[in-house]
Amino acid sequence: MTKREPFVAYIRVSTYYEEKISPEIQRSAIKAWADRNNANIVEWINDLDVSGRKTRRKISNALKMIEGRTARGIAVWRYSRFGRSRHGNAINLARLEALGGRLASATEAADTRTAFGRLQMGMAFKFAEYESDRIGEQWGETREHRRTAGLPATGGKRWGYIWHQRHLDDAESVIHREWYEPNDTGLIVTNLYERIAEGESMGSVTQWLGKNGHIGTRGKPWLQSGLSRYMDSGFAAGWIRYHPDDCDCPPKDPDSTASRGALCPNRIWIPGAHEPIVPEDVWEAYKEKRAKARNTPSGNRKPAYALSGLMRCARCGGTASAAGGATYGAGKVLIPKPGYMFRCSKMKDNRTCDGVYILRSIAEDAVLQRLVDWSEAIEAEAASIPQQSNPDSSTPRQRINAARERLRARLAEIQQQLDRQTDLLTRGVIPEDSYTRERDRLTQEQTGTTAELAELDKRTEEQEAKPADYQPIIRGLIDRWEITPVETRRELLRSVLRGVWAYPKSTAPDGTEVPAYAVPVAIWEDEPRPIGPRANA
């Protein structure tokens, strides 16, 4: 048997994205690499300091081992880990190679002893910092890791528990694991599950929570939708629900309180690492009752309306959902009218808003009227502008993408120039001071361009929207309003409307009653400010 080649493993946990790859994952990947490649890890160097103060020294220690011939090379999780920036990577690599050492990546297949392998490594460096595919890939690995550790797919507070976040103890250089500890609201949580298991409705327990001043993890009174989501997740019963990334189940029904995952047959339930506060038999009985409620037509699955999910309460700015009403017909016969109106969800669920009621027919008429107004305004504007002054017929998405591409290309160029400067310096072609000057100039431009790119990423398609972009949809809606199926109409309206704000009825100074009215707001318009949750404020 040939002797295994000695390598130093260097593990780094630092910046935002990289922090998501735990040292344990990096460690096991490097171990596996060593086994596959007949290498022996003679030393593990952990650079777990988020501030990066120790990075330079840690890498120096690794390089000393190369110099002293106790190791042939350095193994990392990804090439991009070998330094704190792409720039630092290049310098460290130059130093390593000057000592005759080799850099190996545990997860990127490139033999850096060949010309092609070196090209591959160069590419890995180049794109490491902003290639989103790679970030997505790392995120997937992390999700896998969370699942294995019995943690929910996304961290964050859970009602009934104290969330202890993963954190780094600087003094001891250890990472404390993330975990959930039951807190003293546990008894209330258990009680809610029992009440629903015994037949009480979700709406009734939501209102009970509101009346008794119980609030959710975000410090706000509970809404029925949020409470249902939390309770259906089964977290309090010790379960963690994973929904497969590539699942092809239909999207969430906006009129149902059930989440997409809750209705999906492909969801995966696994026992969590946390302590359950709801007994298993209560949880089973709860699930049974909830499944029954979902199959009851008048229960959680209301019929869909064109404005479902779009209505907003003008008092609080929150959502307004469809509700039934009833009128007395001939002979005092009560006629139920499902979806007769929309009402503020906060008013209904926890009374933190005095809310609004608005007839569905009034809201729908207002939308149709507004669509006609917009369409006419767009036509009028198009007619008043000479053709050639409006040559930009691209969509908002295309315009944003083009700007993004331009900035990314510039970033790649800057990085190339930085490399070239570093290369010239290490080969002794240029003196230190001219290198420093050029580096500072490039770094400054790099910072500016990166900030611009970040700013662009924050901007959404909607903010770039021009009314004319929506004219085809608006015309289609007006012309075929009655014959378009409700779901299609709703989808089309969602692409044009920010929402429809419902204003409560009021009394004018002269004593006349002003009925409740609706104000549709387009994607290209700003949201109106809430008028305040209380009627007599």
Stretch that binds Zn ion, among 3-11, 139-147, 347-355, 364-372 (CB under 5 A): 347-355
Phi and psi angles of residue 167, each rounded to the nearest 5 degrees, phi first: -150, 160
Phi and psi angles of residue 383, each rounded to the nearest 5 degrees, phi first: -70, -30
- For the CB of residue 535, give the shortest distance to Zn ion in the complex, in Å: 11
Task: Report the residue number, 353 or 363, with the smaller CB distance to Zn ion.
Answer: 353
Alpha-carbon distance of 454 to 231, in angstroms, equals 37
Alpha-carbon distance of 117 to 495, in angstroms, equals 47
Phi and psi angles of residue 205, each rounded to the nearest 5 degrees, phi first: -70, -30
93, 205, 353, 367: which one contacts Zn ion (CB under 5 A)? 353
What are the DSSP calls for 342-363, one per residue? EEEHHHHHT-SS---EEEHHHH
Q: HEC states along 34-84?
A: HHHCCEEEEEEEEECCCCCCCHHHHHHHHHHHHHCCCCCEEEECCHHHCCC
Task: Report the residue number, 372 or 514, with the smaller CB distance to Zn ion.
Answer: 514
The burial of 284, by beta-carbon neighbours within 10 Å (0-12 exposed, 13-18 middle, 19 or more buried), is given as: exposed
Asked whether the beta carbons of 307 and 364 are under 8 A apart, the reply is: yes
Judged by CB under 5 A, does residue 516 bind Zn ion?
no
Stretch that binds Zn ion, among 121-129, 215-223, 311-319, 465-473 (CB under 5 A): 311-319
Query: How many residues sit in the footprint of Zn ion (CB under 5 A)?
Result: 11
313, 358, 400, 411: which one contacts Zn ion (CB under 5 A)? 313
Alpha-carbon distance of 505 to 513, in angstroms, equals 7
Report 129-168 residues binding Zn ion (CB under 5 A).
none
- For the CB of residue 220, give the shortest distance to Zn ion in the complex, in Å: 13
Judged by CB under 5 A, does residue 316 bind Zn ion?
yes
- For the CB of residue 224, give the shortest distance to Zn ion in the complex, in Å: 14
Task: Report the residue number, 152 or 355, with the smaller CB distance to Zn ion.
Answer: 355
Task: Report the residue number, 101 or 355, with the smaller CB distance to Zn ion.
Answer: 355
- For the CB of residue 516, give the shortest distance to Zn ion in the complex, in Å: 12
Asked whether the beta carbons of 34 and 67 are under 8 A apart, the reply is: no
Alpha-carbon distance of 128 to 223, in angstroms, equals 42
- For the CB of residue 532, give the shortest distance to Zn ion in the complex, in Å: 10
Task: Report the residue number, 263 or 368, with the smaller CB distance to Zn ion.
Answer: 263
Q: HEC states along 217-229?
A: CCCCECCHHHHHH
Residue with tokens 């549709």: 520
Copy the structure tokens of residue 267.
């969801």
* Neighbouring residues of 199: CB distance < 8 A, sequence distance ≥ 6: 289
Task: Report the residue number, 264 or 493, with the smaller CB distance to Zn ion.
Answer: 264
- For the CB of residue 154, give the shortest distance to Zn ion in the complex, in Å: 17
Task: Report the residue number, 166 or 287, with the smaller CB distance to Zn ion.
Answer: 287
Asked whether the beta carbons of 264 and 239 are under 8 A apart, the reply is: no
Task: Report the residue number, 70 or 266, with the smaller CB distance to Zn ion.
Answer: 266
Task: Report the residue number, 124 or 313, with the smaller CB distance to Zn ion.
Answer: 313
Task: Report the residue number, 227 or 353, with the smaller CB distance to Zn ion.
Answer: 353
344, 400, 492, 516: which one contacts Zn ion (CB under 5 A)? 344
Q: What's the farthest any 2 CA atoms get from each other in the chain?
A: 102
- Tell me the C-alpha to C-alpha distance, in Å, between residue 414 and each of 76, 83, 88, 127: 26, 18, 15, 13
Task: Report the residue number, 9 or 313, with the smaller CB distance to Zn ion.
Answer: 313
- For the CB of residue 242, give the shortest distance to Zn ion in the complex, in Å: 10
- For the CB of residue 201, give the shortest distance to Zn ion in the complex, in Å: 22
Judged by CB under 5 A, does residue 315 bind Zn ion?
yes
Q: Which residues pair with 412 in a beta bridge?
A: none
Query: What three-state secondary structure class fits 518?
Result: strand
DSSP H helical ranges for 77-221 = 86-98, 115-128, 132-148, 186-197, 202-211
266, 361, 436, 488: which one contacts Zn ion (CB under 5 A)? 266
- For the CB of residue 352, give the shortest distance to Zn ion in the complex, in Å: 8
Stretch that binds Zn ion, among 278-286, 353-361, 378-386, 479-487 (CB under 5 A): 353-361
- For the CB of residue 312, give the shortest distance to Zn ion in the complex, in Å: 8
**For the range 226-232, what are the long-range contacts, defined as Cβ-Cβ under 8 Å and sequence gap of 24 or more?**
227/202, 228/202, 228/257, 228/258, 228/300, 229/257, 229/259, 229/262, 230/158, 230/159, 231/192, 231/193, 231/196, 231/202, 231/286, 232/258, 232/259, 232/262, 232/290
Report 205-264 residues binding Zn ion (CB under 5 A).
247, 249, 264
- For the CB of residue 319, give the shortest distance to Zn ion in the complex, in Å: 9
Stretch that binds Zn ion, among 190-198, 219-227, 289-297, 337-345 (CB under 5 A): 337-345
Report 401-440 residues binding Zn ion (CB under 5 A).
none
Task: Report the residue number, 110 or 313, with the smaller CB distance to Zn ion.
Answer: 313
Task: Report the residue number, 25 or 500, with the smaller CB distance to Zn ion.
Answer: 500
Copy the structure tokens of residue 496.
């044009």
Give the interface with Zn ion as residue ranges (CB under 5 A): 247, 249, 264, 266, 313, 315-316, 344, 346, 353, 355
